[in-house]
A and B are shown apart, each in its own frame.
Chain A
Amino acid sequence: MLHYLNKHFPLSPLPATGRAIIQNVSRRSFLKGATGLVVAMQVMPVDTASAFDPYPHGGQGMPHGIVNDPHVFVSIVPDGTVTIVAHRSEMGTGSRTSLPMIIADEMEADWDRVKIVQAPGDELIYGNQDTDGSRSLRHHIQPAREIGASVRQMLKEAAAAQWGVDAADVEATGHQVVHRSLGLRLDYGDLAQAAMALPTPARDSLAFKDEREFRYVGKGAVQIYDLHDITTGKAVYGADVSLPGMKYAVIARPPVVGGTVKSIESAAALAVPGVERIEEIPGSIPPAKFAPLGGVAVIANSTWAAIKGRDALVVEWDDGPHAAYDTVAYREELVASSNAPGKVVRDQGDAEGALSGAARVFTRSYYQPHLAHAPMEPLVAVANVANGKAEIWGPLQSPSVAREDIAAALGMAYEDLTVNVTLLGGGFGRKSKGDYATEAALLSQKIGAPVKVQWTREDDIRHSFYHTTSVERIDIGLDADNKPVAWRHRSAAPSFLSTFAPDSGEMHPVEVGMGLADMPYDIANIRCEDCKAMAHTRVGWYRSVSNIPRAFAVQSITAELAAELGRDQKDMLLEMIGEPRVLDLAASGMPEGFWNYGEPYEEFPNDTGRLRNVVELAAQKAGWGKSLPEGEALGIAVHRSFVSYVATVVRAKVGSDGTVRVPEVHVAIDCGFAANPERIRSQIQGACVFGMSAAMYGAITYENGRVQESNFHDYQMVRSDNFPEVVHTHIVPHGFETHSTGVGEPGVPPFIPALTNAIFNATGKRIRDLPIGDQLA
């Protein structure tokens, strides 16, 4: 997400990288432009008959862009071990395995002889590393193939030179280069030195594997690289880093965002055995981007002493301007805002006229509270600032941005910092914001020793960058035949922009593009409005972001209208989507500079044919229309997000006491070419659980500016006794020509309305306010 704020506020002072070798040369446009296609093909050497034409994508426009230099990402040693750099952070999606797997496959390396090393945060070398927005495969599958193909070509050239033959006469296969007719073969290890000394081949000279020749890509047989370490306790997460002489810090932070320390009574804290000192961290006045909240750090010789010391610490706070934030009252403000016209962010036809001329207007309003990410690994970081250098270790989703932020906070140069990335024990967007790493660095600088800052779970729940809270009001105008002729969607939700700039109460284009303006229904008159909402906490992005409340609203009202008109929910949904077509942005009244997940629209269009297809696939697999026992029913929802299409059919079983169980879910996902189907399935299973936790329990509430929830007793999660029991994932098959799109996030948004629609079908009870909580009891 961060990147898209750049337009408004320059966040990165670093120069653009010069390492990318991608040229915007499209073989396809070359061929298209050639007058004689056959002639053009004939003059091309066999080796350059590429099976893969480069296509433009959003990665090229990210800060520091894309780097596809094989010398940056691959090294080979004489024993044949291939080391591949993972430059994206691993938080559970599997990208640390999947991208190296693609490189290994394209270079014909044996996966058993591949080692993966994690890159430190350095976008000047690796290109963009912001692991966010379901972008890793979407932006890096092409560079990964280019890197692999480059290395394969270098290995072939090295072997050909050694044998004194033409490189065109050798082939690379199974970690060897082979000359068949001469019966020669050399292991990659034997060629390592000569091959890696060669310059990077030009993109146009690369030959790519035919996708039918892939050994690993698309197969799902490669296991995640860290699997053995994870199952034996050896995997290293943030808190597992330990340095000689390291001190342990736990911090008391202001309970109200923007609050400051008024007074500190530290005697009792200092009396706790093991507590060594108390240090104040300066606060930050919003908008403060990812700066620490400030507060008082208790520094000790163990984590436990630091926790006990903080318990004994007495701090009086000056609460600042947000001390009155109360989410019950705020909801009424959002309702009022959504009941009045807002800033028009999409205008197609004449929605106001069509609504006033409609035979009837069907109006519903939906509410979603703030949410906290609550990754299993609470925030933590280790820092050592000494001798004019700083080294940081942490579970960071965006390590290079953290490095910039930390350098600025320390008053040091980017070059003098090293930011190491551990495994992330979950991220979900929270770990894009490196306030915790900055805290560790500031404390280490202050006390002159290495410091580990450990957040407790209470800290995590109470000091997050929260998912927005929203009221989504939709009015549908129906003609005399009950055909929808007008759609007006008013969204009132505080924006994450308020974390970066003085709050205007208006949304960022990113939030407008997530299920509001891009709504795909085929209705003649559509107006979408951004209704003013001022933020009173740190709003950030959370897995799937604004798509969650938008999918909930759009898919709920669709099902409500179907019920109102006595129609089948799936039929109504397909009718609303209309005929298969690509949404024409101009004809749809989309805003200037419409945000399509940062992707060029021509390459990643909003295609209702693909949307319809996942609806039909999920419905068919789930046996839509089948009869189920009393208290059980199916519900369906579909949503396009992160340029992928996902339809979900939930089977819900509601007990007489209101308990909700989900015995079965069918999810159809169209994410273009599926490089690692096994991890796509695990992400979809996880998305259903994540969605169910949010639907059943998810609510961060405020009273007197203070978050009321604190741990897993009052911010609950779905567990082994109520999770969606069997999730079937149906991946729409595509060749490589259908671009890979997002997977980590798009499974979440449709799950929630699919569940609430199923609950309605089972019980007649319509959920319009999240979470479900005890509404069914």
Chain B
Amino acid sequence: MVSLTVNGAEHSFDGDPDTPLLWYLRDELGLNGTKYGCGTGLCGACTVHVDGEAVRGCLTTVSDADGKAVLTIEGLSEDGSHPVQQAWRDLNVPQCGFCQSGQIMQASALLAANPNPSDQEILDGMQGNICRCGCYQRIVSAVRQASTGA
């Protein structure tokens, strides 16, 4: 039996402990904001926070999260008011939008660890998240805006 909190709520799971967090969140909890993009940690669409750190939900198993606090896009803020979410809207970042939950979770962890990243630190920090529509220019600007407020 695995116990964990997801967005502040306690959960336990007695299924396959090797189930990736991604599929647990989606299929068991119905938290669909976390997306499947590659299943091998190459695209970042499934990025969530475990104890405040950005991890790939497809490579992190439920048992890896035992006793830990998981945060998904649904729990990042109550009403979408996290500065990263706000910056994403201010700069009209998304096109199709599919990768953006993962991008936002990656960016918010990056800024939590490093509130004023350099441009290079932003580029390096976001490097694991693919956007096939090609919103990178706006993603980088939005991370910068969320960090500086400008």
Contact with B along A220-261 (1 / 0, CB 8 A): 000110111011111111011010000010000000000000
B54 close to A (CB within 8 Å): no
B4 close to A (CB within 8 Å): no
Complex alpha-carbon distance, A88 and B107, angstroms: 32
Q: Is the CB of A686 within 8 A of B135?
A: yes
Q: Which B residues, 110 to 134, have Cβ-Cβ distances below 8 Å to chain A?
A: 122-124, 126-134
Choose, from A172-180, A186-194, A530-538, A714-722, the stretch at the interface.
A714-722
B67 close to A (CB within 8 Å): no
Enumerate chain B residues within 8 angstroms of A712, measured Cβ to Cβ: 38, 40, 42-43, 130
Q: Is the CB of A232 within 8 A of B33?
A: yes
A708 close to B (CB within 8 Å): no
Q: Is the CB of B27 within 8 A of A237?
A: no
Complex alpha-carbon distance, A544 and B134, angstroms: 16
B100 in complex: contacting residue of A230, A239, A274, CB < 8 Å = A230
Identify the interface centre among B33, B80, B133: most chain A CB within 10 Å of its CB: B133
Interface size class of B (residues with CB under 8 A): 35 or more
Give the Cβ gap from A744 to chain B, nearest Cβ, in Å.
10
> With A376-B37, A377-B37 given, can you name 10 additional A-B contacts, CB distance below 8 Å?
A231-B88, A232-B73, A242-B32, A376-B45, A425-B35, A426-B132, A719-B127, A720-B122, A720-B136, A721-B123
Complex alpha-carbon distance, A720 and B99, angstroms: 13
Choose, from A352-360, A618-626, A687-695, the stretch at the interface.
A687-695
Q: Which B residues, 1 to 42, have Cβ-Cβ distances below 8 Å to chain A?
A: 15-16, 19-20, 23, 26-28, 30-40, 42
List 23 interface pairs A-B (beta carbons < 8 Å), by A numbering: A223-B89, A224-B94, A230-B100, A231-B104, A232-B77, A233-B74, A234-B74, A302-B23, A302-B27, A378-B36, A423-B98, A457-B40, A457-B43, A685-B138, A686-B134, A687-B134, A689-B134, A712-B130, A717-B130, A717-B132, A720-B129, A723-B134, A723-B136
Enumerate chain B residues within 8 angstroms of A237, measured Cβ to Cβ: 35, 98
A658 close to B (CB within 8 Å): no
Complex alpha-carbon distance, A378 and B92, angstroms: 24
A233 and B73 in contact (CB under 8 A), knowing A686-B95, A686-B135, A720-B127? yes
Contact with B along A700-733 (1 / 0, CB 8 A): 0000000000011100011111011111000000
A678 close to B (CB within 8 Å): yes
- A interface list, Cβ under 8 A from B: 90-94, 223-224, 226-228, 230-237, 239-240, 242, 248, 273-274, 302-305, 307, 374-378, 423-428, 454, 456-457, 678, 682-683, 685-690, 693, 711-713, 717-721, 723-727
A93 in complex: contacting residue of B37, B42, B95, CB < 8 Å = B95
A226 and B40 in contact (CB under 8 A), knowing A232-B74, A274-B16? no
Give the Cβ gap from B43 to chain A, nearest Cβ, in Å.
6
Enumerate chain A residues within 8 angstroms of B27, measured Cβ to Cβ: 248, 302-304
Complex alpha-carbon distance, A683 and B89, angstroms: 17
> Which residue in chain A gives the minimum CB-CB distance to B132?
A376
A713 and B40 in contact (CB under 8 A), knowing A230-B97, A302-B27? yes
Identify the interface centre among B32, B34, B135: most chain A CB within 10 Å of its CB: B32
Complex alpha-carbon distance, A91 and B133, angstroms: 9
B96 in complex: contacting residue of A425, A454, A685, CB < 8 Å = A425
Complex alpha-carbon distance, A723 and B141, angstroms: 13
> Which residue in chain A gives the minimum CB-CB distance to B74?
A233
Enumerate chain B residues within 8 angstroms of A232, measured Cβ to Cβ: 33, 73-74, 76-77, 79-80, 85
Give the Cβ gap from A593 to chain B, nearest Cβ, in Å.
35
Q: Is the CB of B98 within 8 A of A224?
A: no
Q: Is the CB of A377 within 8 A of B127?
A: no
Identify the interface centre among B28, B40, B99, B137: most chain A CB within 10 Å of its CB: B137
Q: Is the CB of B137 within 8 A of A723?
A: yes
Enumerate chain A residues within 8 angstroms of B109, measured Cβ to Cβ: none
Q: Is the CB of A304 within 8 A of B134?
A: no
Enumerate chain A residues within 8 angstroms of B147, measured Cβ to Cβ: none
Complex alpha-carbon distance, A721 and B139, angstroms: 12
Q: Is the CB of A233 within 8 A of B33?
A: yes
Identify the interface centre among B94, B95, B135, B140: most chain A CB within 10 Å of its CB: B95
A457 in complex: contacting residue of B39, B134, B139, CB < 8 Å = B39
A426 and B96 in contact (CB under 8 A), knowing A234-B33, A720-B139? yes
> Which residue in chain A gives the minimum CB-CB distance to B20?
A304
Complex alpha-carbon distance, A683 and B138, angstroms: 12
Give the Cβ gap from B38 to chain A, nearest Cβ, in Å.
4
Q: Is the CB of A456 within 8 A of B43?
A: no
Complex alpha-carbon distance, A233 and B35, angstroms: 9
Complex alpha-carbon distance, A456 and B128, angstroms: 19
Q: Is the CB of A231 within 8 A of B132?
A: no
Complex alpha-carbon distance, A369 and B67, angstroms: 49
> Which residue in chain B gives the minimum CB-CB distance to A723?
B136
Contact with A along B70-90 (1 / 0, CB 8 A): 001110110110000100110
Give the Cβ gap from A382 to chain B, nearest Cβ, in Å.
12
Enumerate chain A residues within 8 angstroms of B104, measured Cβ to Cβ: 231
Q: Is the CB of A226 within 8 A of B97?
A: yes
Give the Cβ gap from A22 to chain B, nearest Cβ, in Å.
31
Give the Cβ gap from B103 to chain A, nearest Cβ, in Å.
9
A425 and B98 in contact (CB under 8 A), knowing A227-B92, A376-B37? yes
Give the Cβ gap from A203 to chain B, nearest Cβ, in Å.
34
Give the Cβ gap from B55 to chain A, nearest Cβ, in Å.
17
Q: Is the CB of A242 within 8 A of B30?
A: yes
Give the Cβ gap from A152 to chain B, nearest Cβ, in Å.
28
Give the Cβ gap from B131 to chain A, nearest Cβ, in Å.
7
Identify the interface centre among A274, A377, A727: most chain B CB within 10 Å of its CB: A377
> Which residue in chain B gives the minimum CB-CB distance to A230?
B97
Complex alpha-carbon distance, A228 and B104, angstroms: 13
Identify the interface centre among A94, A234, A712: most chain B CB within 10 Å of its CB: A712
Closest 10 CB pairs of A and B: A233-B33, A689-B134, A425-B98, A92-B96, A233-B73, A92-B95, A230-B97, A686-B134, A712-B42, A240-B32
Give the Cβ gap from A300 to chain B, nearest Cβ, in Å.
10
Enumerate chain B residues within 8 angstroms of A687, measured Cβ to Cβ: 134
Give the Cβ gap from A449 to chain B, nearest Cβ, in Å.
16
A376 in complex: contacting residue of B34, B43, B138, CB < 8 Å = B43
Complex alpha-carbon distance, A424 and B85, angstroms: 21
Give the Cβ gap from A709 to chain B, nearest Cβ, in Å.
12
Enumerate chain B residues within 8 angstroms of A239, measured Cβ to Cβ: 26, 32, 35-36
Complex alpha-carbon distance, A733 and B13, angstroms: 59
Enumerate chain B residues within 8 angstroms of A93, measured Cβ to Cβ: 95
